[in-house]
Amino acid sequence: MITDNGREMKILVSTKNLSREEWLKKRNDGIGGSEAPAVAGVSRWKTPLQVWLEKTGVVPPASAQSEAAYWGTRLEDIIAEEFARRTGMRVERLEEMLQHPEYPFMIANIDRIILDEAGRATAILECKTAGEFRRHEWEDGRVPDEYIVQVQHYLAVTGLKKAYVAALIGGQHFVIREIERDDELIDYLIRIEADFWRLVESRTPPPIDGSDAAAELLKKLYPEAKAGSAIDLPTEAEALIRQWREAKAEEEAAAARRQEAENKLKALLEDKEVGLLGGKPVVTWKNFTRKTIDSKRLKKDYPDIYDQYAKESTYRQFKILIDEEE
């Protein structure tokens, strides 16, 4: 497809007949627009390490969509149609995965392309959905940071100068935002995505962070300790131990405050199931019955059956050994 500045967009693969599994596999050939915010460190949903784990195949990409992502995809056509109706622009689905002509690690799956009367691409359209609790992020002409990064990534790949983001908020509030190409931001994205892709190609993980992905990676890399082994830690370990202790103390204080509030609410409920404020239910303390296996009694009375079904697992337990006074 030719853009309005005469540049032809580079097609990596047609997505018309690709299954979702094939599409996910092909996405590992580069960094997509929805992954660019994570690589840039502005995503609320994914970290650079999580993207690295998927790109290197350490963990498979999620094949199942979340409920929010599912409905976002289902409503995409409606949002695109409404955008076209309100703006009078010609909007078409682009059934190709695109690739940057100079930086092949930058790829793009664009929701829609906007065409002029001659059929040349003039802009990108991204279709979004958001819950009512996210409405403030779109007020006063704003666009969430991750979407700005996403569309600038797409503008880099396509060479286009403009993008539109159309969003349906809370199922009933429709907004349109126009985003101009930002070459300074694009240059920054190219640099950090290039650095990240080198980590993928060399299978060098990004710096360890506090994410679940980092914890999962460490379990995969070092599943078992070598018996009797030890290592001299660098001096930075002292600061990390202090950080761990401080966080643990904060967690314990927060847990105590939570338990105090819970106990006082239970005292207010007495033997009632539901507590109301202004006639609306705000807290419950209901009866539940469940059955559990008494493993100690089972082992004592039927040891053979217990041994038959007992499952042994090996895991590593982390502890801080030195006292605060030391």
**Contact indicator for 204, 56 with CB cutoff of 8 Å:** no
DSSP state of 44: S
**According to the model, what pLDDT value does residue 58 have?**
83
Closest CA to 179 of 161, 153, 198: 161
Q: Which residues contact 146 (CB under 8 A, 6 or more apart)?
A: 37, 42, 43, 44
**According to the model, what pLDDT value does residue 311 have?**
81
**According to the model, what pLDDT value does residue 18 have?**
82
Return the structure tokens found at 289.
């019955």
**According to the model, what pLDDT value does residue 6 have?**
65
**According to the model, what pLDDT value does residue 27 have?**
86
**Contact indicator for 166, 80 with CB cutoff of 8 Å:** yes
DSSP for 50-89, please give it: HHHHHHTTSSPPP-SPPHHHHHHHHTHHHHHHHHHHHH--
Q: How far apart are CA 61 and CA 226, in angstroms?
A: 31
Closest CA to 180 of 207, 213, 151: 151
Q: How far apart are CA 132 and CA 129, in angstroms?
A: 10
- HEC profile for 247-270? HHHHHHHHHHHHHHHHHHHHHHHC
Using DSSP's 3-state secondary structure scheme, residue 105 falls into coil
Return the structure tokens found at 189.
């994205």
Using DSSP's 3-state secondary structure scheme, residue 279 falls into coil
User: pLDDT tens, 27-84?
Assistant: 889 999 999 999 998 998 888 988 998 999 888 776 656 787 788 888 999 999 999 9
**According to the model, what pLDDT value does residue 319 have?**
73
* Strand residue runs (E) in the chain: 10-14, 90-93, 96-99, 107-108, 112-115, 121-130, 162-169, 173-180, 274-277, 280-284
176 Ramachandran zone, left/alpha/beta (phi>0; psi -120 to 50): beta
Q: Which residues contact 73 (CB under 8 A, 6 or more apart)?
A: 65
Instruction: Name the stretches of the chain with pLDDT < 70.
Output: 1, 4, 6, 62-65, 320, 322-326
User: pLDDT tens, 137-155?
Assistant: 999 999 999 999 999 999 9
**According to the model, what pLDDT value does residue 64 have?**
58
**Contact indicator for 143, 180 with CB cutoff of 8 Å:** no
Q: How far apart are CA 310 and CA 168, in angstroms?
A: 51
| Dihedral over alpha carbons 22, 24, 28, 33 (to 10 degrees) | 130
